[in-house]
Amino acid sequence: MALAFQEYAMLDDDECDSRIIAAKNTLGRRLVILGHHYQRDEVFKHADFTGDSLKLSRNAAQSDAEYIVFCGVHFMAEVADILSRPEQTVILPDLAAGCSMADMANLIKVRQCWQALSQIFDVEKTVTPVTYINSTADLKAFCGEHEGIVCTSSNAQKILEWGFSKREKILFFPDQHLGRNTGFRMGIPLEHMVTWDFTQPLGGLTKNEIENAKIILWKGHCSVHQAFKPEHIDQFLTRYPNTNVIAHPEACFEVCQKSAYVGSTEYILKTIRAAAANTRWLVATELNMVNRLAEEAKAEGKQVHFMSPTLCMCSTMFRTDPQHLAWVLDNLVQGSVVNPITVPKQPADLARQALAAMLAVS
């Protein structure tokens, strides 16, 4: 019988650490723990692999592990399940760890959008659907069903180029900012990128606006990356004019335009780690990652600053705590699997097609 979480909720972090370490020693190679860059330190330190969501899923699928415990959010665990082998089981320590951005696009609304577009032109021949990896499995499956594709913040430009090689327009969801920032870097004018408001008839757009658009952007965003404002950059540069500014492309257009460097979490890490000693950096991405990078960079005299004056971390990622991790691991030691993440076969097969297309392109 599974151990109840109530027994773990009141444990202090030190006791949880002891249990986590003991369980890892007992399970050995049967277990792999994945820690996303945005995860809190108390959990991140126990990870066998760290990185962004796709990298982690691929690492786990290539491992010998029977159990994959993903310290991240729900869509990440879904990707791990889709890419893992049949004999592997994916576990999410806290099922409440979701993603507000992913929640902004659901299958019903996307299908309604697709149907509305079909009243304007032959949508299957005109539009390539592209979903950011930060989306639910059924939206990845939708892309697979309609000869679309998945992208990450690292490969978005290559994926959009592929999409345009197939059809003349792209429907990009759920993050409008990644789509807009990538499209603009490709030379697409802002007026040829329209925002589809899923709460409005025809997305709040006119037929003419849709016909003239190259990219139709879903009205979604990451709440963490919306905390960064262009005035934060201006104010910081007034004090420290020689600062290097780097942003994640989920930040708004104005912030990315004021940033000398724009790229994924892995890009941000690699760029600052490779930078000259004694340089200063202003970073627009999640707080836990920035704090760890700032501590690491001190050894070379680099100063790394979080862009927003308001502390902002991924609140849903933060739900995964040492108590939940200890709970799921102790259950595995006892032979019980709690919080397994399983994507049904049909959507998993279609989503796998869209992911395979992405891997082939990038």
Model pLDDT for residues 62-71, shown as the tens digit of each residue: 999 999 999 9
Give the helix/strand (H/E) hosting 51: strand 49-51
pLDDT of residue 169: 98
Tell whether 311 is covered by a domain.
no
From CA 219, how far away is CA 226, in angstroms rounded? 13
From CA 135, how far away is CA 153, in angstroms rounded? 13
Tell whether 77 is covered by a domain.
yes
How are strands ordered across the β-sheet holding 149-151? 149-151, 127-132, 169-173, 215-218, 193-196
Do both 144 and 175 map to the same domain?
Answer: yes
From CA 52, how far away is CA 54, in angstroms rounded? 6
Please compute Rg for the chain using Cα positions: 21
The model's pLDDT over 199-228, given as tens digits with 9 standing for 90+, comes to 999 999 999 999 999 999 999 999 889 999
HSE-up of residue 188 (Cα within 13 Å, Cβ side)? 24
Domain span at residue 17 reads 6-98+316-342
How confident is residue 318, by pLDDT bands cut at 50, 70 and 90?
confident
From CA 11, how far away is CA 323, in angstroms rounded? 7
Tell whether 126 is covered by a domain.
yes
**Inter-CA distances, 184 with 98, 179, 223, 267, Å:** 29, 9, 22, 19
How confident is residue 41, by pLDDT bands cut at 50, 70 and 90?
very high
The model's pLDDT over 324-354, given as tens digits with 9 standing for 90+, comes to 999 999 999 999 999 999 999 999 999 999 9
Tell whether 355 is covered by a domain.
no
The structure's pTM equals: 0.94
How confident is residue 99, by pLDDT bands cut at 50, 70 and 90?
confident
How are strands ordered across the β-sheet holding 280-284? 261-262, 244-247, 280-284, 303-306
Instruction: Round to the nearest angstrom and report the end-to-end CA distance of the chain.
Output: 45
Do both 139 and 247 map to the same domain?
Answer: no
Q: CA nearest 72: which of 94, 48, 104, 41?
A: 94
Q: CA nearest 207: which of 114, 118, 120?
A: 120
How confident is residue 2, by pLDDT bands cut at 50, 70 and 90?
confident
Do both 239 and 206 map to the same domain?
Answer: no
- 192-196 CB contacts, 8 Å cutoff, 24+ apart: 193/217, 195/219, 196/113, 196/171
pLDDT beyond 80 at 312: no
Do both 212 and 252 map to the same domain?
Answer: no
pLDDT of residue 313: 66
Tell whether 166 is covered by a domain.
yes
Do both 215 and 297 map to the same domain?
Answer: no
Tell whether 360 is covered by a domain.
no
Do both 127 and 181 map to the same domain?
Answer: yes
HSE-up of residue 46 (Cα within 13 Å, Cβ side)? 31
How confident is residue 101, by pLDDT bands cut at 50, 70 and 90?
confident
Do both 188 and 119 map to the same domain?
Answer: yes
Do both 163 and 239 map to the same domain?
Answer: no
CATH number of domain containing 196: 3.40.50.10800
Do both 302 and 217 map to the same domain?
Answer: no
Region 17-21: mean pLDDT is 98
Do both 109 and 211 map to the same domain?
Answer: yes
The model's pLDDT over 225-255, given as tens digits with 9 standing for 90+, comes to 999 999 999 999 999 999 999 999 999 999 9
Do both 33 and 93 map to the same domain?
Answer: yes
Query: Omega before 86 cis (within 30°)?
Result: no
Is 63:28 a contact under the CB 8 Å cutoff? no
**Beta strand residue intervals within 76-207, DSSP E:** 89-91, 127-132, 149-151, 169-173, 193-196
Region 282-291: mean pLDDT is 95
Tell whether 358 is covered by a domain.
no
- How many structural domains are present in the chain? 3
Mean pLDDT of the chain: 95
- Per DSSP bridges, beta strands 280-284 and 244-247 are parallel
Do both 44 and 80 map to the same domain?
Answer: yes
Tell whether 356 is covered by a domain.
no
Q: Which of 187-201, 308-322, 323-337 has the lowest mean pLDDT?
A: 308-322
